Amino acid sequence: MDNFYTIRFKRNTAKRFKSFSKKVSKSYSDTMELIINFFEWHGFMPSDRFGKSLLQEIIKNRKRTDANIAILKDIEKSQTGPTNAMLLSLFEENVTEEASELVERKYDKKQLKESIEIETTIPKIRYDRLQDKMTAIQEDFSYVLENVKIVKSNFGKNYLKLELTEEELVKFKRTLKNL
């Protein structure tokens, strides 16, 4: 059995963590492990803002991956193909001319950059999550618009009155801040 250790948190922080933990994992320890692993794996500090830095990190890793894929494809074409053609010719198989040609290509820096800079695409799972977030934001925005009333003033211009509770307003602010 694991040993437990007590940590003190502010009451509001503990409540938020409990509700978050119910969504993520079975126990508080598992949730905390997942959070710590996330930050260690991605090399972020909890104080960092994720908006731009997370996206930049994803794009940087995507470019590295694309460069590695380009290198592997080049190795496959320049080394594996000719070797395979030689083996087939040894066993007297029909060899196509394009596989048997050994041509060394020279790239200048501009061509290499262009081959590495491939259009960034978003995986389907991330796209679906973004779509879900977008629909949630649209629903929240339509709710807010439904609670806007025009107040006609006897003196001066008419103005808009937002009829939301404080809890709803705090929830909307937190939702927008976390995006």
Q: pLDDT at residue 143 above 70? A: yes
Average pLDDT over residues 126-132: 84
Q: Which residues of 79-111 are buried (b: 16+ CB within 10 A; e: fewer)?
A: eebeeebeeeeeeeeeeeeeeeeeeeeeeeeee
Average pLDDT over residues 136-162: 85
- Give 64 or 22, the one with higher predicted confidence: 22
pLDDT value of position 139? 87
Tens-digit pLDDT profile for residues 56-69: 666 667 777 777 78
Provide the whole-model pTM.
0.32
Tens-digit pLDDT profile for residues 23-59: 888 889 889 998 888 878 777 677 766 555 666 666 6
Distance CA 144, CA 147 (A): 5
pLDDT value of position 12? 94
The DSSP-derived string for 19-38 is HHHHHH-SSHHHHHHHHHHH
**Taking CA 55 as the corner, what is the angle to CA 52 and CA 58, rounded to the nearest 5 degrees?**
150
Q: pLDDT at residue 151 above 60? A: yes
In terms of Cα–Cα distance, which of 6, 51, 43, 50 is closest to 28? Answer: 6
Q: pLDDT at residue 19 above 60? A: yes
Domain residue spans of the chain: 1-48, 50-116, 122-179
Average pLDDT over residues 116-126: 67
